[in-house]
Amino acid sequence: MPKPILIIKTGSTLPGLSARKGDFEDWISTRMGKQYTFQVIDVTTGTSLPESEIFAGTVITGSPCMVTAHLPWSEMTARWLAKAVDAGLPVLGICYGHQLLAYALGGEVGDNPRGSEYGTTTITPLGSAFDDTLFKPMSSDFLAQVCHKQTVLILPPGAKLLALSSKDSCQAFVYKNAWGVQFHPEFDAEVMHYYISHFRQVLIDEGQDADELSAQVCETPVSAALLQNFASICSAYR
Protein backbone atom coordinates (compact mmCIF):
# COMPACT_ATOMS: atom_id res chain seq x y z
CA MET A 1 0.00 0.00 0.00
CA PRO A 2 1.39 3.46 -0.92
CA LYS A 3 2.48 5.63 1.95
CA PRO A 4 0.10 8.52 2.71
CA ILE A 5 0.99 12.19 2.49
CA LEU A 6 0.78 13.77 5.93
CA ILE A 7 -1.02 17.11 6.27
CA ILE A 8 0.05 18.79 9.51
CA LYS A 9 -2.85 21.01 10.51
CA THR A 10 -1.62 24.03 12.44
CA GLY A 11 -4.90 25.93 12.53
CA SER A 12 -8.20 26.48 10.76
CA THR A 13 -9.57 28.98 8.30
CA LEU A 14 -12.26 31.50 9.23
CA PRO A 15 -15.40 29.78 10.66
CA GLY A 16 -17.80 31.26 8.12
CA LEU A 17 -15.59 30.05 5.31
CA SER A 18 -14.98 26.52 6.61
CA ALA A 19 -18.73 25.97 7.03
CA ARG A 20 -19.16 26.58 3.31
CA LYS A 21 -15.92 25.44 1.67
CA GLY A 22 -14.07 23.17 4.08
CA ASP A 23 -10.71 23.85 5.69
CA PHE A 24 -7.04 24.14 4.73
CA GLU A 25 -6.51 20.38 4.56
CA ASP A 26 -9.48 19.97 2.22
CA TRP A 27 -8.22 22.60 -0.22
CA ILE A 28 -4.69 21.18 -0.13
CA SER A 29 -5.67 17.57 -0.71
CA THR A 30 -8.12 18.49 -3.48
CA ARG A 31 -5.47 20.44 -5.39
CA MET A 32 -2.85 17.73 -4.90
CA GLY A 33 -5.14 15.14 -6.47
CA LYS A 34 -7.64 12.42 -5.58
CA GLN A 35 -5.20 9.69 -6.61
CA TYR A 36 -3.19 10.25 -3.43
CA THR A 37 -4.00 9.20 0.11
CA PHE A 38 -3.71 11.62 3.00
CA GLN A 39 -3.50 11.56 6.77
CA VAL A 40 -4.39 14.74 8.65
CA ILE A 41 -3.02 15.37 12.14
CA ASP A 42 -4.16 18.46 14.03
CA VAL A 43 -1.12 19.33 16.13
CA THR A 44 -2.93 22.22 17.85
CA THR A 45 -4.72 19.60 19.97
CA GLY A 46 -1.38 18.39 21.33
CA THR A 47 -1.46 15.21 19.23
CA SER A 48 2.06 13.89 18.75
CA LEU A 49 3.43 13.13 15.30
CA PRO A 50 4.54 9.58 14.40
CA GLU A 51 7.86 8.69 12.79
CA SER A 52 8.30 10.43 9.45
CA GLU A 53 9.32 7.22 7.66
CA ILE A 54 5.70 6.05 7.39
CA PHE A 55 4.83 9.00 5.10
CA ALA A 56 5.59 9.85 1.48
CA GLY A 57 5.83 13.54 2.34
CA THR A 58 4.20 16.22 4.44
CA VAL A 59 2.47 19.58 3.99
CA ILE A 60 2.22 22.05 6.89
CA THR A 61 -0.86 24.28 6.68
CA GLY A 62 -1.36 27.92 7.41
CA SER A 63 -2.62 29.13 10.77
CA PRO A 64 -4.06 32.21 12.49
CA CYS A 65 -1.33 31.77 15.13
CA MET A 66 2.17 33.26 15.05
CA VAL A 67 5.38 31.24 15.08
CA THR A 68 6.87 33.87 17.41
CA ALA A 69 4.30 32.91 20.09
CA HIS A 70 6.31 29.68 20.56
CA LEU A 71 3.22 27.67 21.49
CA PRO A 72 4.00 24.19 22.86
CA TRP A 73 2.42 22.34 19.92
CA SER A 74 4.29 24.57 17.48
CA GLU A 75 7.62 23.96 19.16
CA MET A 76 6.92 20.22 19.15
CA THR A 77 6.15 20.34 15.44
CA ALA A 78 9.31 22.34 14.73
CA ARG A 79 11.45 19.67 16.40
CA TRP A 80 9.68 16.95 14.38
CA LEU A 81 10.21 18.88 11.13
CA ALA A 82 13.93 19.28 11.74
CA LYS A 83 14.28 15.51 12.14
CA ALA A 84 12.02 14.76 9.16
CA VAL A 85 14.03 17.06 6.89
CA ASP A 86 17.26 15.48 8.09
CA ALA A 87 15.78 12.07 7.23
CA GLY A 88 15.05 13.23 3.67
CA LEU A 89 11.25 13.42 3.82
CA PRO A 90 9.76 15.79 1.20
CA VAL A 91 8.29 18.75 3.11
CA LEU A 92 6.19 21.70 1.98
CA GLY A 93 5.34 24.51 4.39
CA ILE A 94 2.58 26.98 3.48
CA CYS A 95 2.40 30.45 5.11
CA TYR A 96 2.63 29.60 8.83
CA GLY A 97 4.07 26.25 7.74
CA HIS A 98 6.68 28.09 5.66
CA GLN A 99 7.68 30.19 8.64
CA LEU A 100 7.65 27.25 11.04
CA LEU A 101 9.86 25.23 8.70
CA ALA A 102 12.36 28.10 8.45
CA TYR A 103 12.37 28.47 12.24
CA ALA A 104 12.80 24.71 12.71
CA LEU A 105 15.88 24.74 10.48
CA GLY A 106 17.52 27.67 12.25
CA GLY A 107 16.05 30.69 10.46
CA GLU A 108 14.43 33.76 11.99
CA VAL A 109 10.74 34.72 11.80
CA GLY A 110 9.11 38.02 12.76
CA ASP A 111 6.76 40.79 11.65
CA ASN A 112 7.18 41.74 8.02
CA PRO A 113 8.91 45.17 8.02
CA ARG A 114 6.87 46.05 4.91
CA GLY A 115 3.57 45.37 6.67
CA SER A 116 0.91 42.73 6.13
CA GLU A 117 0.32 41.35 2.65
CA TYR A 118 -3.16 40.44 1.41
CA GLY A 119 -4.71 39.69 -1.96
CA THR A 120 -3.47 38.43 -5.30
CA THR A 121 0.15 39.42 -5.87
CA THR A 122 2.94 38.78 -8.34
CA ILE A 123 5.56 36.24 -7.30
CA THR A 124 8.97 36.59 -8.96
CA PRO A 125 11.07 33.41 -9.12
CA LEU A 126 14.82 33.96 -8.90
CA GLY A 127 17.42 32.25 -11.04
CA SER A 128 17.83 29.64 -8.31
CA ALA A 129 14.26 28.50 -8.96
CA PHE A 130 14.77 27.64 -12.61
CA ASP A 131 16.43 24.29 -11.93
CA ASP A 132 14.62 23.60 -8.64
CA THR A 133 12.63 20.36 -8.54
CA LEU A 134 9.46 22.04 -7.25
CA PHE A 135 9.70 25.41 -9.01
CA LYS A 136 11.10 24.29 -12.36
CA PRO A 137 7.75 24.74 -14.19
CA MET A 138 7.53 28.32 -12.86
CA SER A 139 10.31 30.04 -14.79
CA SER A 140 8.60 33.45 -14.97
CA ASP A 141 6.46 35.73 -12.78
CA PHE A 142 3.16 34.23 -11.66
CA LEU A 143 0.19 35.27 -9.52
CA ALA A 144 -0.54 33.86 -6.05
CA GLN A 145 -2.81 34.55 -3.09
CA VAL A 146 -1.18 36.02 0.03
CA CYS A 147 -2.49 36.58 3.54
CA HIS A 148 0.10 37.16 6.26
CA LYS A 149 1.62 39.54 8.78
CA GLN A 150 4.84 37.75 9.69
CA THR A 151 7.56 36.50 7.39
CA VAL A 152 10.93 34.74 7.24
CA LEU A 153 13.42 37.48 8.11
CA ILE A 154 16.57 35.34 7.94
CA LEU A 155 16.84 32.09 5.98
CA PRO A 156 18.10 28.93 7.69
CA PRO A 157 21.83 28.27 7.17
CA GLY A 158 22.28 26.46 3.85
CA ALA A 159 18.81 27.34 2.53
CA LYS A 160 18.36 28.88 -0.92
CA LEU A 161 15.96 31.75 -1.67
CA LEU A 162 13.68 30.88 -4.59
CA ALA A 163 11.16 33.72 -4.97
CA LEU A 164 10.04 37.11 -3.68
CA SER A 165 7.28 39.70 -4.10
CA SER A 166 7.07 43.48 -3.86
CA LYS A 167 6.15 43.30 -0.18
CA ASP A 168 8.04 40.20 0.93
CA SER A 169 11.68 39.36 0.28
CA CYS A 170 11.16 35.65 1.08
CA GLN A 171 8.18 34.18 -0.74
CA ALA A 172 9.84 30.79 -1.15
CA PHE A 173 12.97 28.90 -0.13
CA VAL A 174 14.38 25.39 -0.38
CA TYR A 175 16.59 23.40 1.96
CA LYS A 176 17.51 19.88 0.83
CA ASN A 177 14.14 18.19 0.13
CA ALA A 178 12.07 20.79 1.99
CA TRP A 179 10.33 23.88 0.60
CA GLY A 180 8.57 26.80 2.21
CA VAL A 181 6.15 29.10 0.38
CA GLN A 182 4.73 32.21 2.01
CA PHE A 183 1.88 32.39 -0.48
CA HIS A 184 -1.21 30.14 -0.50
CA PRO A 185 -1.36 27.74 -3.48
CA GLU A 186 -4.50 26.19 -1.94
CA PHE A 187 -6.52 29.45 -1.94
CA ASP A 188 -8.94 30.22 -4.76
CA ALA A 189 -10.36 33.66 -5.56
CA GLU A 190 -13.46 33.15 -3.40
CA VAL A 191 -11.32 32.35 -0.36
CA MET A 192 -9.14 35.41 -0.96
CA HIS A 193 -12.16 37.70 -1.32
CA TYR A 194 -13.51 36.36 1.98
CA TYR A 195 -10.26 37.06 3.84
CA ILE A 196 -10.04 40.62 2.53
CA SER A 197 -13.67 41.24 3.49
CA HIS A 198 -13.16 39.76 6.96
CA PHE A 199 -10.04 41.85 7.65
CA ARG A 200 -11.31 44.93 5.82
CA GLN A 201 -11.11 47.28 8.80
CA VAL A 202 -7.69 45.96 9.83
CA LEU A 203 -6.40 46.66 6.32
CA ILE A 204 -7.93 50.14 6.30
CA ASP A 205 -6.38 50.89 9.69
CA GLU A 206 -3.00 49.91 8.19
CA GLY A 207 -3.53 52.38 5.37
CA GLN A 208 -4.31 49.76 2.74
CA ASP A 209 -7.09 50.05 0.16
CA ALA A 210 -9.27 47.01 0.85
CA ASP A 211 -11.52 47.74 -2.12
CA GLU A 212 -8.59 47.89 -4.51
CA LEU A 213 -7.12 44.69 -3.08
CA SER A 214 -10.45 42.95 -3.59
CA ALA A 215 -10.79 44.29 -7.14
CA GLN A 216 -7.40 42.82 -8.07
CA VAL A 217 -8.19 39.30 -6.82
CA CYS A 218 -8.23 36.64 -9.53
CA GLU A 219 -7.67 32.91 -9.90
CA THR A 220 -4.05 31.72 -9.68
CA PRO A 221 -3.68 28.44 -11.61
CA VAL A 222 0.12 28.52 -11.83
CA SER A 223 0.42 28.86 -8.06
CA ALA A 224 -2.14 26.10 -7.54
CA ALA A 225 -0.14 23.75 -9.76
CA LEU A 226 2.69 23.83 -7.23
CA LEU A 227 0.69 21.44 -5.03
CA GLN A 228 0.47 18.94 -7.87
CA ASN A 229 4.21 19.33 -8.42
CA PHE A 230 4.84 18.55 -4.76
CA ALA A 231 2.53 15.53 -4.85
CA SER A 232 4.61 14.16 -7.73
CA ILE A 233 7.77 14.60 -5.66
CA CYS A 234 6.14 12.68 -2.80
CA SER A 235 5.06 9.93 -5.20
CA ALA A 236 8.63 9.50 -6.43
CA TYR A 237 9.91 9.42 -2.83
CA ARG A 238 7.63 6.51 -1.94
Task: Report the 10 Å Cβ neighbour count for 199.
Answer: 20
The widest CA-to-CA distance across the chain, in whole angstroms, is 53
Q: Is 95 a catalytic residue?
A: yes
Q: Provide the residue count of the chain.
A: 238
3-state SS assignment for residue 193: helix
Q: Which of 25, 95, 98, 147 is catalytic?
A: 95
Burial of 27 (0-12, 13-18, 19+ CB in 10 A): buried
| Alpha carbon distance 197, 26 (integer Å) | 22
Catalytic site residue 186?
A: yes
3-state helix, strand, coil in the chain (%, to 5): 40, 25, 35
On whether the CB atoms of residues 131 and 147 are closer than 8 A, the answer is no
Of 117, 170, 186, 234, the catalytic one is: 186
The upper half-sphere exposure of residue 199, i.e. CA atoms within 13 Å in the direction of its Cβ, equals 23
> Pick the catalytic residue: 25, 147, 170, 184?
184
Distances (CA, A) of 196 to 28, 144, 149, 161, 223: 20, 14, 13, 28, 19
Q: Is 1 strand, coil or helix? A: coil
Residues with catalytic roles? 95, 184, 186
